[in-house]
Structure 1
Amino acid sequence: MPIQPSGQLLPLLKTYSLLLVLLAAAALSAWAVYAVPAPAVDRMLEADLRKQATDWRRRILLHLEDGAGSFFTGQLDQHDIEYLSLLPATTDAYRIKLFQADGRVMWSTRPADIGTVNRKPYFQQKVAKGAVYYARGTKPVSQVDGFETRDTGAMAVSREVAEIYTPVLKGGQFAGAIEFYSDITAVRDTFLSRVRISLALVSAVMVAAIGIVSVVVIRTNRLSLRQMQQRAAKDQEIMASQMQLAREVKLLGELNEWLQSCRSLDELFKMVSEFMSHLLPDAEGSIYVFSNSRDVLAGCASWNGGGLKDHIRPDECWGLRRGRTYEYGASEVEFTCAHAAPHDGRPYFCFPILAHGETVGLMHLRAMPPRAGDFATCKPLAQMCAEQISMAIANVRMRDQLHDQSVRDPLTGLFNRRHMTDSLRKHLNSGELNCTRLSVIAVDVDHFKKFNDNHGHDAGDMVLRAVSTVLEKACDGSEAACRPGGEEFTLILPGATPEEALARAELLRQAVEEISMRYGEKTLPQITISAGVAHYPAHGLLPQDLLRAADEALYAAKAKGRNQVCAAAAGTEAEQDAAWRAAEQAASACPPAAGANKAG
């Protein structure tokens, strides 16, 4: 039968593997101790000697009488020679040579070398081009100047010698070179010994560490495997959470982009309902926004079946009353919000919607029955959604306010001249395309200057506001009351016939005549208006033509004694023909209305 490895054999195999690893590490460490240090020490010594040689050259050139110029002449005075002769005793160089540019030795601590010429290639190829040349080699003791031996046997001992050529330049021109011979045997041996001892200690520590680590690894294999399995499961959870987070971040970004492009609150709340059903699928939700009077909150949006009431009061919500998010279902003692009734015990959130430090609304979230246990995890995301919704609401309201400020008269709140002209132009274009009628009423307060002169400008402003209130109440739908300036007003009545416009103007005159106002302790005089009515297309096809015709009718009413209504008079025969032709063309382009008199 084949032998099956038992459970006891596996630890033995692991032990043998550990021993092999330790032996390999020891062998590698031993090789590193003896093979690695020598090249490293030689490189360190070379760098150090190059620096020393540069310093020695600088000292020599500073002490020479002519400095670098001596290399061009090849002449040294007695003082120079005495200084150079003392250098071997004060430096690590046992021999020094001074070369001229052609390689001839002009001076040396060994007199026999004077006059010889260095014709080696490196002299012209490197040194003569301004580079330092370094060479290391082994030399017999007999060639090392000044080396003293203690016995005759020492003469056979070799020494490690370094030769360094340092170029001498003057004015950018190569003048010569200085060669230094240095015995580096003792320094090299000392460095090698220290480095090898250090490496041996490090290697021993490393081998011991490898052994300890290997033992620990073998003993913790089972634990590591168990931890890896746990981490794998946790990583899967984290990955799923990250994917969910990435989805939520993407949806939040899309929600923000869509909300910023909304033109109205109705459009905004439709988008909110659509997005929130995807962002918070485990929660029923609804949004309430403060009315302009701020006494109630109006229900604006809901999702996932969330209950939405038409109105709720601010004191019905603990979140609004406390000024922060209220979470029902997280504390031992809790109170239910009145607006959450009927309440079935499910946890819920109330997020006050804040914008620029002001509460603008409320977002209410309630857990759906299958997800009541996980409902609390959606709080951070819901909070971010509430913040984005609040900023979007604030932006839409700010745009609306800015638009109102640009088209509204600040005193009366009616539309200004700019909006009047734009609105009239749009209605006229629509009239040409849709064959609709349009009337314009020009209104002017009679004797308005007397109110300012006799009672002050504040009283005059009260009169203007009172008249504007009457005009604004008389408008409905697409009709617009405007104040072009001063005490002049204009009403734009799309679809009104001339007869209807005259009747509306008369009703306005009567309503203004019934105004009774007190200013301080006095009752102001009766307020009356004059009005002029013009109609499209009979009195013009362009905005300026209609306004001019209405103004002329207004002047006619004033000329007749004020406090009355006049219709615009027909123009010249040519103008009447042009207007009628335009009207007939517009009428012929439209299908006849039901019940219309065909003979008309």
Structure 2
Amino acid sequence: MTQDNRGAVNHRLKWIGISMLLISLTIGCGWGIYKLPAPLVDRMLKVDIFKQAELWKRRVVLHLEDPESALKTGVIDAHDAEFLAAMPEASDVYRFKLLDSNGRVTWSTRPTEVGSVENRDFFRSDVARGMIHYIREVVPLSEIDGLDLHTDNILNATQHHVAEVFMPVAKNGRFIGAIEFFTDISDLRTTFISRLRISLTVLSGIALLALVAVSFASYRANRLQLRALQKQSAKERDLMEDQLRLAREVRLLGELNEWLQSSRSLDELFDMVSRFMTHILPEAEGSVYVYSNSRNVLDGCASWNGGTHKAHIHPEGCWGLRRGRTYEYGAFEIDFICEHAEPHDGRPYFCFPILAHGETVGLLHLRALEGTDEAFHTSKKLAQLSAEQISMAIANVRMRDQLHDQSVRDPLTGLFNRRHMLETLRKSINRSQHTGAPLSLIAVDVDHFKKFNDTHGHDAGDMVLRAVGAALEQGCDRDEVACRIGGEEFMLILPDNTSDDAITRAEQLRQAVEAVSVRYGEKSLPRITISVGVSHYPAHGTMPQDLMRAADDALYAAKDKGRNQVQVAGSGSDAQQISQLKKPIKAVGGKSTA
């Protein structure tokens, strides 16, 4: 055999040896491909689950109002309960528990587990000492909650790989409890194992390089998968935050509506609006205006979040009111500034006309705070809903006020009716009993009123009653109340008036009525005169009916003595005093005297 042949044989033998080595490596790798991936993937998943469990724990602990109390007692508020119940739907956790420091379950996604105790040794030896404990189990389908969140491959499997993680929770270095998370890792585990086997099969022919490449590919696949999971988790977290924000807005609007519907007056209603709008729209300052009774201007009623309102604005000075729909400054290339928004610094604003029963009753003005333009524009829908709630509440309060006025007012004269007079008189007597303040009652009757009706007709009589009612109303000051108790009879309640003051006021009223001239058609009606009776508390009674009877008796005494005069109840000595008063006195309201 020549040297060349020997070299060729040696070369062949060398390659045969290498081939045999590669074959051996391939066979070994093939066996390893089947056996190696599962333990390797399980270790990798354990590290990955540890990181995710830390995030899950931080999310739960940071969201709870009082984590220590929640772990110890399981007592949480409705908002925290809503978050905990929603967490399995927004994460890879399908089940979790809160355990106190003794291992007792205080809260669980499975309510039947509450009260049970974790008695396994590792809880006291590991978890209670601040160490994370990890368990991987193979469980049947029935043990997994919320399978609708998983993939079709998982649903078709009969057994699931589940990671059970105990995360200790400490406060100030003291163990206060733990959170036990359950997550289904079957899909992820199967995916990792499949990819790893393919990679090992492809790279088994190049031995050590294949092993390095497999490790690199596995590491890269793991990182990509982790990033994908993190992106998905971020999307789910954003979705959950949007849902929670929407739920909060709906809840606040419901609370706003409930409070506004229970307000007793417009002033109270606007105070509620100021407080609620600060929470509902924190990125906006605002103000609210309501049409005055004349409807020529709108009155500024309230403002919040650093906003200000003007005392009065004209409806023509607002583009929203002028056009009859919402006006948004800053949404178009060319905008015009409302007069009530001056001085303007360029910030966007909304003008929402407040409508009630198809009628514009006011204006809600909102302006973005500095640096919140984007958030301000996205809040337009919520602001619109708030304006609708406010408009309904204003309409209800106004309707309630109108109904109340109708129940306590005389429709002819506009004075209070007998029912309101009795209620006010009782309150005035109770006040005088407690404070000792003086109180007087004046009874008034139009002289010869039947003659007016018979001679000039009922329309003329109504004009006379309205004229007398106007004189009584002009004579009221502070808490004094003028009432028409029926027909041509009136009464005037005078709190905080001494006896002498009440007699003087009665004479001024008599002279004021006597000075009134009423025209009916083309002619003036005859002179109007009244007879007046005065009673004082407590000299003439301590009950409403006693004071009214005493005032009526004095009134009839005035009629018996010739009408057009003032008499005081139960006192003949007052006649001299009253006669002295029957000299020209400046009439109430600045009218000329008789």
User: SS at the partner of 1:449?
Assistant: helix
Detail structure 1 runs of 4+ shifted over 3 Å in the superposition: 221-231
Question: For residues 156-175 of structure 1, what are the structure 2 equivalents within 5 Å?
Answer: none
Query: 1:516 maps to what in 2?
Result: 517
Give, in angstroms, the shift of residue 229 of structure 1: 4.4
Question: For residues 541-552 of structure 1, what are the structure 2 equivalents within 5 Å?
Answer: 541-552=542-553
Q: Distance in 1 between matches of 2:428 and 2:569?
A: 20
Question: For residues 501-580 of structure 1, what are the structure 2 equivalents within 5 Å?
Answer: 501-570=502-571
Q: Distance in 2 between matches of 1:328 and 1:224?
A: 47
Give, in angstroms, the shift of residue 367 of structure 1: 0.4
**Where in structure 1 are there 5+ consecutive unaligned residues?**
1-8, 18-205, 207-213, 572-600
Query: 1:452 maps to what in 2?
Result: 453
Give, in angstroms, the shift of residue 246 of structure 1: 2.1
What letter is aligned with 2:506?
A: A
Query: 1:428 maps to what in 2?
Result: 429
What letter is aligned with 2:238?
A: E
Q: State whether structure 2 residue 297 is matched by structure 1 residue 281.
A: no
C-alpha deviations, 1:67-123, integer Å up to 9, x for none? xxxxxxxxxxxxxxxxxxxxxxxxxxxxxxxxxxxxxxxxxxxxxxxxxxxxxxxxx
Question: For residues 118-197 of structure 1, what are the structure 2 equivalents within 5 Å?
Answer: none
Q: State whether structure 2 residue 310 is matched by structure 1 residue 309.
A: yes
- Shifted more, 241-250 versus 506-515: the winner is 241-250
Query: 1:416 maps to what in 2?
Result: 417
Q: Distance in 2 between matches of 1:280 and 1:301?
A: 15
Q: State whether structure 2 residue 281 is matched by structure 1 residue 298.
A: no
Q: State whether structure 2 residue 252 is matched by structure 1 residue 245.
A: no
Q: State whether structure 2 residue 275 is matched by structure 1 residue 271.
A: no
Give, in angstroms, the shift of residue 253 of structure 1: 2.0
Q: Distance in 2 between matches of 1:226 and 1:491?
A: 84
Q: TM-score, normalised by structure 2?
A: 0.58
Query: 2:325 maps to what in 1?
Result: 324
Give, in angstroms, the shift of residue 427 of structure 1: 0.9
Give, in angstroms, the shift of residue 373 of structure 1: 2.8
Query: 2:365 maps to what in 1?
Result: 364
Please say if residues 557 and 563 of structure 1, whose CA atoms lie closer than 8 Å, have aligned partners that are also in contact: yes
User: SS at the partner of 1:370?
Assistant: coil
Give, in angstroms, the shift of residue 333 of structure 1: 1.8
Give, in angstroms, the shift of residue 225 of structure 1: 7.3
Query: 1:338 maps to what in 2?
Result: 339
Q: Distance in 2 between matches of 1:527 and 1:438?
A: 28
User: SS at the partner of 1:422?
Assistant: helix
Q: Distance in 1 between matches of 2:495 and 2:458?
A: 34
Give, in angstroms, the shift of residue 378 of structure 1: 1.0
Question: For residues 363-512 of structure 1, what are the structure 2 equivalents within 5 Å?
Answer: 363-512=364-513
Query: 1:46 maps to what in 2?
Result: none
Q: Distance in 2 between matches of 1:499 and 1:262?
A: 42
Please say if residues 539 and 570 of structure 1, whose CA atoms lie closer than 8 Å, have aligned partners that are also in contact: no
Give, in angstroms, the shift of residue 227 of structure 1: 5.9
User: SS at the partner of 2:379?
Assistant: helix
- Shifted more, 373-382 versus 245-254: the winner is 245-254
Please say if residues 353 and 386 of structure 1, whose CA atoms lie closer than 8 Å, have aligned partners that are also in contact: yes
Give, in angstroms, the shift of residue 234 of structure 1: 2.0
Q: Distance in 2 between matches of 1:266 and 1:506?
A: 38
Query: 1:106 maps to what in 2?
Result: none
RMSD, matched Cα: 3.0
What letter is aligned with 1:473?
A: Q
C-alpha deviations, 1:122-179, integer Å up to 9, x for none? xxxxxxxxxxxxxxxxxxxxxxxxxxxxxxxxxxxxxxxxxxxxxxxxxxxxxxxxxx
Give, in angstroms, the shift of residue 231 of structure 1: 3.3
Q: Distance in 2 between matches of 1:561 and 1:504?
A: 20
C-alpha deviations, 1:282-322, integer Å up to 9, x for none? 10100011111111111111111112111111111111111
Query: 2:183 maps to what in 1?
Result: none
Q: Distance in 2 between matches of 1:341 and 1:461?
A: 50
Q: Distance in 2 between matches of 1:224 and 1:411?
A: 84
Q: Distance in 1 between matches of 2:431 and 2:410?
A: 25
Q: TM-score, normalised by structure 1?
A: 0.58
Q: Distance in 2 between matches of 1:512 and 1:560?
A: 19
User: SS at the partner of 1:369?
Assistant: coil
Give, in angstroms, the shift of residue 249 of structure 1: 2.1
What letter is aligned with 1:239?
A: M
Q: Distance in 1 between matches of 2:369 and 2:331?
A: 16
Q: Distance in 1 between matches of 2:472 and 2:348?
A: 52
User: SS at the partner of 1:504?
Assistant: helix
Give, in angstroms, the shift of residue 241 of structure 1: 1.6
Could you say which structure has the larger radius of gyration? 1
What letter is aligned with 2:451?
A: K
C-alpha deviations, 1:235-258, integer Å up to 9, x for none? 221211222222222222222222
User: SS at the partner of 2:483?
Assistant: strand
Give, in angstroms, the shift of residue 523 of structure 1: 1.2
Please say if residues 320 and 352 of structure 1, whose CA atoms lie closer than 8 Å, have aligned partners that are also in contact: yes
What letter is aligned with 1:337?
A: C
Q: Distance in 1 between matches of 2:286 and 2:438?
A: 47
Please say if residues 425 and 543 of structure 1, whose CA atoms lie closer than 8 Å, have aligned partners that are also in contact: yes
C-alpha deviations, 1:429-472, integer Å up to 9, x for none? 11111111110000011111122111111111111111101101
C-alpha deviations, 1:170-209, integer Å up to 9, x for none? xxxxxxxxxxxxxxxxxxxxxxxxxxxxxxxxxxxx9xxx
C-alpha deviations, 1:498-536, integer Å up to 9, x for none? 110110011111111111121111111111111110000
Please say if residues 424 and 543 of structure 1, whose CA atoms lie closer than 8 Å, have aligned partners that are also in contact: yes
Q: Distance in 1 between matches of 2:231 and 2:402?
A: 58
Give, in angstroms, the shift of residue 368 of structure 1: 0.5
Please say if residues 324 and 352 of structure 1, whose CA atoms lie closer than 8 Å, have aligned partners that are also in contact: yes
Question: For residues 205-220 of structure 1, what are the structure 2 equivalents within 5 Å?
Answer: none
What letter is aligned with 2:247?
A: A
User: SS at the partner of 1:409?
Assistant: coil
Q: Distance in 2 between matches of 1:269 and 1:348?
A: 20
Q: Distance in 2 between matches of 1:277 and 1:448?
A: 59
Q: Distance in 2 between matches of 1:569 and 1:433?
A: 25
What letter is aligned with 2:480?
A: E
Q: Distance in 1 between matches of 2:372 and 2:334?
A: 22
What letter is aligned with 2:419?
A: R
What letter is aligned with 1:306?
A: G
C-alpha deviations, 1:14-65, integer Å up to 9, x for none? xx99xxxxxxxxxxxxxxxxxxxxxxxxxxxxxxxxxxxxxxxxxxxxxxxx
Q: Distance in 1 between matches of 2:486 and 2:232?
A: 77
Q: Distance in 2 between matches of 1:327 and 1:534?
A: 63
Q: Distance in 2 between matches of 1:452 and 1:227?
A: 94
Give, in angstroms, the shift of residue 230 of structure 1: 3.8
Query: 1:231 maps to what in 2?
Result: 232
Question: For residues 28-107 of structure 1, what are the structure 2 equivalents within 5 Å?
Answer: none
Q: Distance in 1 between matches of 2:417 and 2:561?
A: 28
User: SS at the partner of 1:515?
Assistant: coil
Name the % identity. 69
User: SS at the partner of 1:430?
Assistant: helix
Q: Distance in 2 between matches of 1:389 and 1:327?
A: 19
CA 1:455–1:339 in 2, change beyond 3 Å: closer, same or farther?
same
